[in-house]
Amino acid sequence: MNVSFYKYQGTGNDFIIIDNRSVFFPKSNNVLISNLCNRHFGIGADGLILLENDENSNFKMIYFNADGNESTMCGNGGRCIVAFAKKLQLFEHKTKFSAIDGIHYAEINDHKVSLQMINVNDIKVSGNSSYTNTGSPHHVEVVTNLANVKVVEKGREIINNYYQTEGCNINFVEQLNNETFKVRTYERGVENETLACGTGVTAVAIAMHFNKKSSSNRIELIVPGGNLEVKFKEDKGNYTNIMLLGAATFVFEGKIALP
């Protein structure tokens, strides 16, 4: 069977997106999904996203990591599926869709997608490290000389020491000024450094504000794949109206034969 697919990227975080409204895709075939995401023998991507119908919103997002397993929320993937849904003419400028962590609202203007993330009210801090869940679990580690950090080696070390049971995404962050931070991320499921992570930079922005390293509620995050922005409202440690902003770009489309 030949299947149409669409490739999108958000600040270098790239995804295979498939219109699965007719529910034909074999979602339980982890090996197939992993092979499609393989950069040598497949299409190549950080993850695969299915767009499906949803009774209570414009569409449903189902996200799989590059290892083939269904995963938690992906912020950049969420922005990319919004751009794809716009291409399918499922909405005009504003939309809402369901994902594994609930309903998300989004808006698109000139390829820039603003995506509302889940509220955050639980941030754990230990020394230079913080932990929170922004739709996916994230460890945030403040460092100096970010460019010299061995992200893969150090990321795996932190996971092995603290997060063996459920795994975790590991973000290394260097402060540039009150409103700007550089971030590099080791993503679980990809098991490597990625060029960007949407839920990751969201976690960084929240953690930096919570730890009083920033007094701003609008924070710029510089990642290897480009720039993202996170803005939010905060009241007594409760973070609401969290928005992840950045470009989501169509790369190419094609067909691939499924076994």
Residue carrying the six token digits 């499906």? 52
3-state secondary structure of 63: strand
- Dihedrals φ, ψ of 234, to 5°? -135, 135
Tokens of 191: 């098991």
3-state secondary structure of 31: helix
Q: Which residue, among 59, 112, 67, has the nearest Cα to 229 in the 3D structure?
A: 112
Percent helix, strand, coil in the chain, to 5, is 20, 45, 35
Q: How far is CA 127 from the centre of its chain?
A: 26
Q: How far is CA 181 from the centre of its chain?
A: 17
Query: Active-site positions?
Result: 74, 197
d(CA 129, CA 161): 13
Handedness of CA 80, 85, 87, 88 (dihedral sign): positive
